[in-house]
Amino acid sequence: MPNVCQALEAVAKSCENNSGGLHGIALIPQDDVVSVLVNTTNPGDWEVTGFTLTPLITFTDYYIRRNTSNYTEELAADLVNGSSFVTQTINLMFHRREMATSRAIKILGSGQQYLSAIVKDANGKYWYFPYLQLSASGEGSGTARADGSKYSVTLVAENEFLAYEVTMNTTALQAIGVNF
């Protein structure tokens, strides 16, 4: 008897405005995420409704300026082997080079640790990205005075699914350290 896959679902036309970019990101070591609560009423909704974190540990907010940061998700499917995964890449830009930012970036990449992120996109939606690792950091002083100095940071993960939407209310997000 053949395996039965899920039925196809329609994608409805949206009449809402659609904006690109990120408004905020909060990160935490993956080891401090004890559990992720996914909608149990309809698990196929790909919706995170809560987190259980290591006691006394919360997400850490990283300030980013508008029009500087983004994420991408690309599906890689091997039709011969029957495997697939999504490469998730978050590109961040931090303005003004200084010691505190250099240190924060160094800590993010220390030990090639896994990180979890909650990002807020320009449409006001929050997204959960588990098992990220810092894969690159660069930039510098700029050339012209108007260039400004900056850091670029790239976080990458390979997961089975696209990012889940986080549908927690503002109070619940603030309780876990997400304050943007």
143 exposure class (CB count in 10 Å sphere: 0-12, 13-18, 19+): exposed
Q: Which structural domains are found in the chain, ordered by start?
A: 22-30+55-163 (2.30.110)
pLDDT in tens, 52-76: 999 999 999 999 998 999 999 999 9
Predicted confidence (pLDDT) per residue in 133-167, tens digit: 999 988 888 888 888 888 999 999 999 999 999 99
Of 12-16, 153-157, 176-180, the range with the lowest mean pLDDT is: 12-16
Mean pLDDT of the chain, nearest integer: 90
Average pLDDT over residues 38-48: 76
Please check the confidence at residue 5 and state whether its pLDDT lies above 80. Answer: no
Of 98 and 1, the one with more pLDDT: 98
Distance CA 59, CA 109 (A): 16
